[in-house]
Amino acid sequence: MPTRLEALFERSRAEKRAALIGYITAGDPTPAETSALVAALERGGVDLIELGVPFSDPIADGPVIQRGADRALKAGTNVAKVLEIARQIRSASQVPLLLFTYMNPVLRYGWDRLARDAKAAGIDGLLLTDLSVEEANPFIGVMRAGGLDTVFLAAPTSTDARLQLVSEYSSGFVYLVSRTGVTGERAELSDSIAPLIERMRRVTKLPLAVGFGISTPEQAGAVAAMADGVIVGSALVRMIEQHATPGELEAFARSLAQAMSSETVSPPGSPS
């Protein structure tokens, strides 16, 4: 049986469209509100939710997501609370859930314990932003044994050797970082996206999803013409920071999804 991540990309490929992936920090603004925000994004057309585990030193994230993590931590969110949120989401939805986190919270919680508890909570996979792919063997073994997909990052600065490792160790999809630096909204898309997609397609048949710096419907539509998935995070976290209602989040997600399925957007290329 395919995992939820595999099934999602099989479905989106059959529908000749890219998948829309949304990131939010779990527990922002409060743990009690996260499941309603996820439901709103799903209604708006988001295909996969990245649930960010708040961390005090999120080195891959820009100021918007850093502030979201700070709000979530002050609201009492930790790994156990995020898994409780995931259970709440899963009780009402089958939307794929990817746990987006850093090494420190995972090491404190415990590899084996996290694999067991995440699977039981309805999590489908994990992405550890600061785990070097060259040192990922123990993580891969534990998570795969627990029935969880493992997603790794590839960047424009990644060597060919590292892209090969990312291909071997990823399952579900590969997360392509569109630019060097941290997350955050940008006025223009990076010129690095197309070359990175081309390089990655040479070494993997996995779906390729692009994130970092995608924040408008126009940008999402442009990336959807090249990739199998489009990831939007900071724009959603900023809306939450500005006290957007679930209805406003739903409307924004719908505008992204509509731009990605526009007749002017060519379907993403099939992995070779």
Which one from 28, 50, 117, 228 is the annotated catalytic residue?
Answer: 50
Is 61 annotated in the active site? yes
On the 0-12 / 13-18 / 19+ scale of CB atoms within 10 A, 156 is middle
Is 70 annotated in the active site? no
What are the structure tokens assigned to 253, written together? 């997600």
Helix, strand, coil fractions of the chain, as percent rounded to 5: 45, 15, 40
CA dist., res. 163 & res. 213, Å (int) = 21
Residue holding tokens 């739903």? 250
CA dist., res. 65 & res. 165, Å (int) = 28
- Determine contact, residues 25/54, Cβ cutoff 8 Å: yes
CA dist., res. 65 & res. 241, Å (int) = 10
Which one from 61, 117, 149, 228 is the annotated catalytic residue?
Answer: 61
Active site residues: 50, 61
